[in-house]
Amino acid sequence: MSEPSTRNLWQRTYRAIKPDWVFGFLLLVSITMLIAENLDPEPVIAVDPLMKILALSGLTLVIAFVATYAAAMDRRKVEDYFFQLMINGAIVGIITTLFVNLAWDLLYGRLMGDDVIAVMLASWSLGYFFYRIRGLNK
């Protein structure tokens, strides 16, 4: 008897997880984050500007490299349709987050930390579901 290949195991696991469930969960997490962050906001910690620039630059480079590698690995293992759904949803999430942040900044001042992450998670989830319902080619 032959053992199942790792590709078949990955596909079965991926089908069990289903991106729909993951993005539905992310949408609920983002709503929870918005509520929790605004009920009991954390104090802002002062950071030396040079250290902040160095830390953010380093983190951005390292995490972008890891994310690029993970996306390439994910692309080889999943169906192209789900990958396109996730990518198009991510584009919607980034654009929405940028414009929500801009609008909030113009109206009320800076949008901080967990609020930005919550908006990004919610908009990515909504973008994913929009394309999932509507389709990629419409």
Tens-place pLDDT, residues 12-61:
666 656 677 778 888 888 888 888 777 776 677 788 888 888 888 888 89
What is the value of pTM for the model shown?
0.69
Over the stretch 71-130, which tens digit does the pLDDT of each residue have? Answer: 777 666 667 788 888 889 999 999 999 999 999 999 998 888 888 999 999 999 999 999
Q: Are 111 and 104 a contacting pair, CB within 8 Å?
A: yes
Q: What's the pLDDT at 27?
A: 87
Q: Which pLDDT does position 70 carry in this prediction? A: 78
Provide the pLDDT for residue 102. Answer: 92
- Who contacts 118 (Cβ-Cβ below 8 Å, separation ≥6)? 30, 31, 33, 34, 37
Q: Measured between alpha carbons, how far is 71 from 33 in angstroms, rounded to an integer?
A: 26
- Amino acid identity, residue 21? W
User: Which ranges of the chain would DSSP assign to H, the alpha helix?
Assistant: 6-17, 19-39, 49-77, 80-108, 113-134
Residue 15's Cα: distance from chain center in Å?
Answer: 20
CA distance linking residue 111 with residue 97, whole number of Å: 11
CA 18 to chain centre: 16
Residue appearing with tokens 């539905």: 24
